[in-house]
């Protein structure tokens, strides 16, 4: 059986950097350490960190009960009010916001200062989008679907700046921008989709189009993994979404000649290698 593993599978630069920053604090003996939300969407990594004493705060409100320690902001970033809250509590801050996300925060602030309303193309409930929105003024809007564009409280000729959630699907972003462009606003569009995501998606799509079965590895709550799965599913009907090797049913791939493997941005290399080794060992029937 031929097994192809995507070169872009797994941790992206920002996630790797954030995870390393947590381990670095542990090694330096910093105590107590808190992360604001799980550092990545991977249960195994989060569990390992918890065993090493890292506590996860479920929401910024929980900061109010923290008396001392270091708070690590994860790669998704947070809104300005959270920085203010940490400072007010007198806690130490380690900012592991991905530099690409940080850049969007800066764009939002600058564009607001220049009088533009910011439109974020993305998923309103995603922490990264909440964080980006948290740097914008009260006019900031989040848009995910084309239907929403028809019902926005905007006036003709309004000055807009469109940015994107870093993990948003590029084609959907393009369609939404096109829809906005037809409405006669004064628009600046900044494609802030991260290359890591695009490259992973393009490679996954290519591999999925060439193989008989495709395996997508990633956490249940990882939106970028879910998107990878959707992309692969379009190219290859036998696409399987798994979290770890335990979820893989060997029978699903034992009658095919070729298998592709990719993984979301929060999937540790160890899990990808485990799946790879085991798929290679599966005997064809
Ligand atoms: Fe950063 Fe891109 Fe990863 S924005 S967190 S490098 S997907």
Helices first, then strands: H and E counts in the chain: 10, 12
| Token duo for residue 47 | 């569990």
In 3-state terms, what secondary structure has residue 63? helix
Q: What is the mean pLDDT of the chain?
A: 95
| Token duo for residue 209 | 């189009």
Nearest to 75 by CA among 23, 39, 34: 39
Residues above pLDDT 70, as percent of the chain? 100
Distance 163 CA to ligand 1 centre (A): 15
Q: Alpha-carbon distance 41 to 227, whole Å?
A: 14
Q: Alpha-carbon distance 79 to 130, whole Å?
A: 7
List C-alpha distances in Å: 99 to 5, 112, 133. 27, 20, 17
In 3-state terms, what secondary structure has residue 282? coil
Nearest to 36 by CA among 88, 90, 80, 96: 96
Ligand 1 atom, smallest distance to 224 CA: 7
Ligand 1 atom, smallest distance to 76 CA: 5
The finding on whether 13 has its CB within 6 A of some atom of ligand 1 is yes
Number of neighbours of residue 110 by Cβ within 10 angstroms:
12
pLDDT tens digits for 90-126? 999 999 999 999 999 999 999 999 999 999 999 999 9
The finding on whether 262 has its CB within 6 A of some atom of ligand 1 is no
Phi and psi, residue 104, nearest 5°: -65, -40
The 10 Å CB-count burial string (b at 16+, else e) for 1-15 is bebbbbebbbbbebb
Distance 100 CA to ligand 1 centre (A): 6
pLDDT tens digits for 163-189? 999 988 889 999 999 999 999 999 999
pTM summary value = 0.82
Token look-up 């939404």 returns 176
For the segment 214-226, the average pLDDT, to the nearest whole number, is 89
Number of neighbours of residue 163 by Cβ within 10 angstroms:
27
pLDDT band, residue 159 (cuts 50/70/90): very high
94 vs 40: which has the higher pLDDT? 94
Dihedral over alpha carbons 207, 201, 221, 11 (to 10 degrees): 90
The finding on whether 166 has its CB within 6 A of some atom of ligand 1 is yes
Run of H or E including 141: strand 141-143
pLDDT band, residue 59 (cuts 50/70/90): very high
Phi and psi, residue 40, nearest 5°: -145, 165
Q: 124 an active-site residue?
A: no
| pLDDT for residue 263 | 97
Contact assessment for residue 260 and residue 215, using Cβ atoms and an 8 Å cutoff: yes
The finding on whether 265 has its CB within 6 A of some atom of ligand 1 is yes
Q: Which of 51, 68, 106, 128 is catalytic?
A: 128
Residues above pLDDT 90, as percent of the chain? 86
């Amino acid at each position: 059986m031929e097994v192809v593993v995507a070169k872009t599978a797994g941790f992206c630069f920002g996630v790797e950097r954030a995870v390393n920053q947590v381990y670095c604090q542990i090694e330096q003996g910093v105590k107590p350490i808190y992360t604001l939300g799980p550092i990545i969407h991977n249960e195994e990594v989060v569990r390992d960190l918890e065993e090493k004493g890292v506590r996860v705060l479920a929401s910024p409100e929980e900061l109010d009960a923290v008396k001392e320690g270091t708070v690590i902001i994860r790669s998704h970033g947070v809104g300005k009010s959270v920085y203010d809250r940490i400072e007010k509590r007198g806690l130490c801050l380690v900012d592991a916001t991905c530099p690409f996300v940080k850049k969007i925060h800066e764009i939002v602030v600058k564009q607001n200062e220049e009088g533009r309303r910011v439109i974020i193309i993305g998923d309103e409930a995603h922490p990264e989008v909440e964080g980006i929105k948290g740097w914008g003024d009260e006019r900031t809007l989040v848009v995910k679907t084309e239907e929403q564009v028809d019902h926005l409280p905007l006036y003709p000729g309004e000055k807009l700046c469109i940015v994107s959630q870093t993990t948003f699907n590029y084609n959907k972003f393009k369609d939404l921008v096109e829809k906005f462009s037809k409405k006669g606003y004064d628009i600046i569009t900044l494609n802030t989709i991260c290359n890591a995501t695009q490259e992973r998606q393009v490679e996954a799509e290519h591999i999925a189009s060439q193989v008989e079965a495709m395996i997508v590895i990633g956490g249940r709550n990882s939106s970028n993994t879910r998107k990878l799965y959707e992309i692969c599913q379009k190219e290859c009907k036998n696409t399987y979404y798994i979290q770890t090797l335990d979820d893989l049913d060997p029978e699903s791939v034992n009658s095919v000649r070729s298998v592709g493997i990719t993984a979301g941005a929060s999937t540790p290399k160890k899990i990808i290698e485990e799946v790879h080794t085991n798929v290679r060992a599966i005997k064809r029937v």
